[in-house]
Amino acid sequence: MFDIQQIRHDFPILGREVYNRPLVYLDNGATTQKPLCVVQAMTDEYLNVNANVHRGVHFLSQQATDLHEAARETVRKFINARSTAEVVFTRGTTESINLVAACFGQQCMGPGDEVIITEMEHHSNIVPWQLLKSRKDINIKVCPITDEGRLDLNVLERLFSERTRLVSVCHVSNVLGTVNPIKDIVSKAHAHNVPILVDAAQSVPHMAVDVQALDCDFLAFSGHKVYGPTGIGVLYGKEEWLDKLPPYMGGGEMIDRVTFQHTTFNHLPYKFEAGTPDYVATTGLARALDYVSTIGFETIEKHEHELTKYAREQLSEIDGMRLFGPSDDAVVSFLVGNIHHLDLGTLLDRLGIAVRTGHHCAEPLMHRMGVEGTVRASFALYNTVEEVDALVAGIRRVAQMFG
Ligand code: PLP
């Protein structure tokens, strides 16, 4: 049974007020709130276990290492990777994509080689490729979207050439809520013998993501968007690919033997984990994934889909409403009449309603849609129908003020 009030109790922040009004938090695409169990697991580790991992023979270090490696196993199970060697801890989606761009770029790409991305990417799946372009003179090809906000898969097919080395695409758009047909895209890429990186920042919090079922070669996500702590994320990579790539950063942990002349590197996944990892955050992430797993994605998806559908229906009845994208997932982007997105967001905030405004780190997508920015409401498992009603009432009120 899905008891929403019980779930809301797990997130103490949801009980607070802003401007003397109950908080309505609808900025979950940016980051989710944290259940008490995550904060408690991290507090407990700092208070009772804290020691650097992998380095000490002493009791605390071993205990901290056990927690850290248990967290890796929790992630492995959560995304169904074949082995923990395929689970690299990073600081988040952004770092994971930069890692692939840097290491794959160094090893597998040269002047004139091509990466395919899409028009709906977050900046973190655009700029790393531009940085690589400036270093290695690669080409970036962009798959367009349709007016409905879906990838134009016919054009995608035509973008492949004998110089295509990688496809890098988001699973779910953080602006449009489009769920891309990743399995089909993976098949297309593999039919051309091209590996694929999936930006799963906006899918992992909302649906079961099985890397073996998707058959993707790399996948990136952030802990903080799935009820976990900030500063921790994951890069999944097939072992055969990670093995081929050079290290990302140099330092402690990632080495096997070091002399001034030569260094050999640690085995996977440590080759990609230079320096002290955020071992407390990995514990928090594991606790968050356990929390989500206990509720179950069947339940979460059903709840979030109902909310999103209801929100679209209610919003579309507002005069002057423009909705962007299909909102397959827990994201609704919109503009109302001539009201500037920033004005709408600011006035909603005064009513206690937290939404995101602006370009959502997807400026090329804004250009495609012919707007400077939108307002985005994004839902999580703890949001309620009453909160959607508050959003709709808030927008009506602001619209009235603007006449
Ligand atoms: N990719 C997508 C689709 C996102 O929505 C985001 C964050 O909003 C990112 C990547 C970047 O995530 P992070 O800032 O956690 O690295």
Q: Which of 248, 268, 293 is the last residue of a domain?
A: 293
Of the listed 103, 170, 216, 361, which one is catalytic? 361
Q: Which two tokens stand for residue 217?
A: 């070669």
What order do you get walking across the sheet with 331-336 strand by strand?
Answer: 321-324, 331-336, 374-378, 356-358
Q: Which of 293, 326, 344 is the last residue of a domain?
A: 293
Counting ligand 1 atoms within 8 A of each CB, the residue from 361, 363, 376, 378 with the most, and so the one to mutate, is: 361
Ligand 1 atom showing the smallest separation from residue 224 Cα:
15
Q: What is the pLDDT of residue 55?
A: 82
Q: For residue 133, which amino acid is it?
A: K
- Measured distance CA(232)–CA(38) in Å, rounded: 13
CA 30 / ligand 1 centre spacing (Å): 8
Asked if 361 is an active-site residue, the reply is yes
Claim to verify: residue 126 and residue 218 sit in the same structural domain: yes
Claim to verify: residue 49 and residue 155 sit in the same structural domain: yes
- Measured distance CA(251)–CA(166) in Å, rounded: 28
CB 222 within 8 A of CB 233: yes
Q: What is the pLDDT of residue 126?
A: 98
Q: What is the pLDDT of residue 56?
A: 84
Q: What is the CATH number of the domain that holds 173?
A: 3.40.640.10
Helices (H) and strands (E) in the chain, counts: 14, 17
Claim to verify: residue 84 and residue 121 sit in the same structural domain: yes
Claim to verify: residue 70 and residue 148 sit in the same structural domain: yes
84 lines ligand 1 (CB under 6 A): no
- 211-235: pLDDT as tens digits: 999 999 999 999 999 999 999 999 9
Counting ligand 1 atoms within 8 A of each CB, the residue from 28, 94, 230, 232 with the most, and so the one to mutate, is: 94
Question: Which residue's CA is the closest to the ligand 1 atom numbered 12?
Answer: 93
Claim to verify: residue 362 and residue 245 sit in the same structural domain: no
Q: Which two tokens stand for residue 117?
A: 């991305």
Three-state secondary structure readout of 109-158: CCCCCEEEEECCCCHHHCHHHHHHHHHHCCEEEEECECCCCCECHHHHHH
Q: What is the pLDDT of residue 177?
A: 98
- Measured distance CA(34)–CA(12) in Å, rounded: 8
CA 366 vs CA 184, 271, 321, 339, 362: distances in Å: 26, 38, 17, 17, 7
> Going by C-beta distance under 8 Å and a sequence separation of 6 or more, which residues neighbour residue 116?
141, 142, 143, 156, 159, 160, 164, 166, 167, 168, 169, 194
CA 66 / ligand 1 centre spacing (Å): 29
Q: Give, rounded to a whole angstrom, the gap between the first and last alpha carbons of the chain.
A: 44
Q: What is the pLDDT of residue 179?
A: 98
Query: What residues make up the domain containing 258?
Result: 39-293
Ligand 1 atom showing the smallest separation from residue 173 Cα:
3
203 lines ligand 1 (CB under 6 A): no
92 lines ligand 1 (CB under 6 A): yes
Q: What is the CATH number of the domain that holds 366?
A: 3.90.1150.10
178 lines ligand 1 (CB under 6 A): no
List, in sequence order, every residue forming a beta bridge with 166; answer none if it has no partner: 115
CA 206 vs CA 133, 157, 179, 250, 309: distances in Å: 33, 28, 11, 34, 15
Claim to verify: residue 238 and residue 302 sit in the same structural domain: no
Question: Which residue's CA is the closest to the ligand 1 atom numbered 4?
Answer: 201
Kindly report the number of other CB atoms within 10 A of residue 41's CB atom: 22
- 346-375: pLDDT as tens digits: 999 999 999 999 999 999 999 999 999 999
CA 256 / ligand 1 centre spacing (Å): 33
CA 201 / ligand 1 centre spacing (Å): 5
Claim to verify: residue 114 and residue 237 sit in the same structural domain: yes
CA 259 / ligand 1 centre spacing (Å): 38
CA 157 / ligand 1 centre spacing (Å): 26
Burial of 299 by CB count in 10 Å (0-12 exposed, 13-18 middle, 19+ buried)? middle
Domain count for the chain, please give it.
Answer: 2
pTM here? 0.98
Among all chains, which residue has been given the structure tokens 């395929």? 86
pLDDT tens, N- to C-terminus, the chain (403 residues): 689 999 999 999 999 999 999 999 999 999 999 999 999 999 999 999 999 999 889 999 999 999 999 999 999 999 999 999 999 999 999 999 999 999 999 999 999 999 999 999 999 999 999 999 999 999 999 999 999 999 999 999 999 999 999 999 999 999 999 999 999 999 999 999 999 999 999 999 999 999 999 999 999 999 999 999 999 999 999 999 999 999 999 999 999 999 999 999 999 999 999 999 999 999 999 999 999 999 999 999 999 999 999 999 999 999 999 999 999 999 999 999 999 999 999 999 999 999 999 999 999 999 999 999 999 999 999 999 999 999 999 999 999 999 8
Q: Which of 278, 293, 308 is the last residue of a domain?
A: 293
Q: Which two tokens stand for residue 62?
A: 């071993």
- Among candidates 161, 105, 92, 164, which has minimal Cα distance to 131? 105
CB 63 within 8 A of CB 49: yes
- 138-168: pLDDT as tens digits: 999 999 999 999 999 999 999 999 999 999 9
Q: What is the pLDDT of residue 72?
A: 98
